[in-house]
């Protein structure tokens, strides 16, 4: 547990899975939390759950691929709670898995638009808000083991997640001198709705015989376990860590 009293955290993709668990963990640690995603009902339910547990939260419906939405999201956070100390850019989609010969141009643009352009837009406006407040901050982007590894039919998703390494390292170098740390968390297989959709797309056989045996801990991760890595990188316990990648993957990338 970290003491995050009087801190403000912004989490994108908070309506589900890893983002929801991260928002709840920030609130447990005492931070005020702004939760963003497209589905307003899910966000309202999360705000109610955080408030029922004694925390403070506010929801803002956002499509991270739209510049005007992202600007409004950051303005909402600053307008509601005064500033942003921690920003977690977690929103993402798996998209359609397809051979490159069949991958529609629009699908490539959709996946890159949310997973890569969305993180660019979020960081741009979050960094402006943090620099204006002049109190430093921490940004964590959510990549994937597919930030390092490809898989057949995964070109759009894997490209978007590989791109986050360049985005994270470059921006961490830009912002370090102003006291803003930027890191990347690259989860392996995590038990969320995205994981179940991906499993359906790949097929149970490929998953059970091809994917799961490469996880040395022999199980999928829980969203709460990824949230711990994200919140750690935001906390003062990580005060000398910037530009790095933390890979909570149960050992998935240890061996081929």
Q: Which residues are catalytic?
A: 157
2 binds ligand NAP (CB under 6 A): no
Taking the least distance from each CB to ligand NAP, the nearer of 176 and 202 is 202
Quick one: tokens of 190? 């995590």
Taking the least distance from each CB to ligand NAP, the nearer of 37 and 246 is 37
Q: Which residue, among 69, 13, 59, has the nearest Cα to 34 in the 3D structure?
A: 59
64 binds ligand NAP (CB under 6 A): yes
Do residues 176 and 130 touch, judged by C-beta distance below 8 A?
no
Locate all alpha helices (DSSP H) within the chain, ordered by sequence. 17-28, 40-52, 67-81, 105-112, 118-133, 155-175, 193-202, 204-205, 223-234
Q: Which residue, among 35, 29, 27, 94, has the nearest Cα to 60 in the 3D structure?
A: 35
Closest separation between CB of residue 174 and ligand NAP, Å? 22
92 binds ligand NAP (CB under 6 A): yes
225 binds ligand NAP (CB under 6 A): no
Do residues 253 and 190 touch, judged by C-beta distance below 8 A?
no
Quick one: tokens of 197? 């959709």
231 binds ligand NAP (CB under 6 A): no
**In degrees, to the nearest 5, what angle opens at C-alpha 167 toward C-alphas 94 and 143?**
35
107 binds ligand NAP (CB under 6 A): no
Site for ligand NAP in 133-172 (CB under 6 A): 142, 144
Site for ligand NAP in 163-222 (CB under 6 A): 187, 189-190, 192-195
23 binds ligand NAP (CB under 6 A): no
* Residue from 44, 49, 63, 225 in contact with ligand NAP (CB under 6 A): 63
Quick one: tokens of 211? 């994917």
Q: Which residues bind ligand NAP (CB under 6 A)?
A: 12-19, 37-39, 42, 62-65, 90-93, 114, 142, 144, 187, 189-190, 192-195
């Amino acid at each position: 547990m970290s003491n995050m009293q009087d801190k403000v955290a912004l989490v994108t993709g908070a309506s589900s899975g890893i983002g929801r668990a991260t928002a709840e963990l920030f609130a447990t640690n005492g931070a005020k939390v702004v939760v963003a995603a497209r589905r307003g009902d899910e966000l309202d339910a999360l705000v109610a759950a955080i408030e029922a547990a004694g925390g403070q939260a506010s929801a803002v419906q956002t499509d991270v691929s739209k510049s005007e939405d992202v600007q409004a999201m950051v303005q909402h956070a600053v307008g509601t709670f005064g500033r942003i100390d921690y920003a977690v850019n977690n929103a993402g989609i798996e998209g359609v898995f397809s051979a490159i010969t069949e991958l529609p141009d629009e699908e490539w643009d959709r996946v890159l638009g949310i997973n890569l352009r969305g993180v660019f837009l979020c960081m741009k406006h979050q960094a402006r808000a943090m620099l204006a407040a002049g109190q430093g901050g921490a940004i964590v982007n959510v990549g994937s083991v597919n930030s390092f590894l490809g898989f057949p039919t995964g070109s759009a998703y894997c490209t978007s997640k590989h791109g986050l390494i360049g985005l994270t390292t470059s921006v961490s170098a830009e912002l370090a001198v102003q006291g803003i740390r930027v890191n990347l968390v690259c989860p392996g297989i995590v038990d969320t709705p995205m994981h179940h959709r991906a499993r359906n797309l790949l097929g149970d056989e490929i998953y059970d015989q091809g994917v799961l045996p490469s996880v040395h801990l022999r199980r999928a991760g829980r969203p709460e376990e990824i949230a711990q890595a994200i919140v750690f990188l935001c906390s003062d316990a990580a005060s000398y860590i910037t530009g790095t990648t933390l890979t909570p993957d149960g050992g998935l990338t240890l061996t081929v």
